Amino acid sequence: MSKIRSKIYELINDMFYTIFPDLCIACHKISKTRNSYFCINCIHNMPYTDHFKISDNTVTKHFKGRIPLTHGAALLSFRNQSNVKNMLHGLKYKGKKETGQILGEIAGQKLAESSLFEKPDLIIPVPIHYKKKLLRGYNQSGIFGQGVSNASGIKMTESHLIKYTETASQTGMARTDRVKNVSTTFQINKPEELVGKHILVVDDVVTTGATLEACCLLLLKAGVKKISILTIAAAE
Ligand SMILES: [Zn+2]
C-alpha cells in the first residue's frame, strides 16, 4: 500500500514539475536539473572568487588602510550585465529571498572549509532602516547572513547593530564624507556583549565600501577585537 502511495506521490510531483518547472535563480531559464537552484550552464560558469584561499584579495585590498581586517571575502565576482547582477537585483528588489539564503549557505560552507579563515564568533549583517525593512519585508544582508550561519554554525545577531536614520544621498560625495555621512546613522546596542569578539560583518555587495567601513569602525570602537567582512559579491 505504501509503495502505491509513494508512486502516486512521485507521479503528482512529476506533473507539478512539468507545469511549474524550477527556474535557475541566476539566469531565470528553466533549470534542467531538478532540485537544483542553478541550471547546468550557471553552475559551471558561476564566477566564484578565490577569496577563501587567498588573503590578499580584492576585498582585503579594497579596505587596506581603512579597516584592520582579519579576513575579507566575496563569494562571487561582480560584473555589470552579468547573472550575478541579476541575482543581486532579484534579492534586493524582487522578493527573491531564497537567492540570498542559498548563496549564504554556499559561502558559509566555503568559510567553514577554508583553512585560511579562523572562525568568527558572531555574524552581524549590515542593517537597513526599519521603514525599508517593513516595505521590503526583509533585510537582504540578514537573509544572506542567515544562510552563512546555517552552513557554518556561527550565530547571527541582528539586534546589536541598527540603522536608525535614513541615509542621505551619497552621490557626488568624497569617500571620507560618505563614511562620515553613514556612520552617524548606525547605533550599537549592548556593546558589552561584543567586547573581545571576532565579528563577521556581512553585506550583499561591496561597491564604495562606505557603509561597510562605517559599520566596522563603529564595532571596533565598541570594543570588538577582530573584524572580518563577507559579501555575496565584489567588483573585480
Ligand atoms: Zn542559469
Q: Quick count: other Cβ atoms within 10 Å of Cβ 93? A: 10
Residues within 5 A (CB) of ion ligand 1:
24, 26-27, 39, 42
47-235 maps to CATH 3.40.640.10: no
Distance of CA 86 to the CA centre of its chain: 15
Beta-ladder partners of 171: none
Q: What pairing do the DSSP bridges indicate for beta strands 198-206 and 122-125?
A: parallel
CA 44 / ligand 1 centre spacing (Å): 9
Note whether 191 and 166 are within 8 A (CB): no
Mean pLDDT, the chain, whole residue set: 88
pLDDT attached to residue 192? 97
pLDDT attached to residue 80? 75
The torsion region of residue 95 among left (phi > 0), alpha (psi -120 to 50) and beta comes to: left
CA 90 / ligand 1 centre spacing (Å): 14
pLDDT attached to residue 167? 63
Output b/e per residue, 48-69; b: 16+ Cβ within 10 A: ebebbeeeebbbbebbeeebeb
Q: Quick count: other Cβ atoms within 10 Å of Cβ 74? A: 28
In sequence order, what are the residues at sequence separation of 6 or more whose Cβ sits closer than 8 angstroms to the Cβ of residue 153? 112
pLDDT attached to residue 25? 84
81 has a pLDDT exceeding 80: no
CA 23 / ligand 1 centre spacing (Å): 8
Mean pLDDT calculated for residue range 209-230? 96
More confident residue, 54 or 42: 54
CA 130 / ligand 1 centre spacing (Å): 33
Domain spans of the chain? Answer: 1-45, 47-235
Residue-wise pLDDT for 149-186, tens only, equals 999 999 999 999 999 876 666 667 677 777 666 667 89
Confidence of residue 42 (pLDDT cuts 50, 70, 90): confident
CA 86 / ligand 1 centre spacing (Å): 11
pTM of the model: 0.86
Residue 48 has φ and ψ, to the nearest 5°, of -65, 140
CA 82 / ligand 1 centre spacing (Å): 11
Which residue type sits at 71?
H
Residue-wise pLDDT for 98-142, tens only, equals 999 999 999 999 999 999 999 999 999 999 999 999 999 999 999
pLDDT attached to residue 171? 66
CA 67 / ligand 1 centre spacing (Å): 36
Residue 186 DSSP class:
E
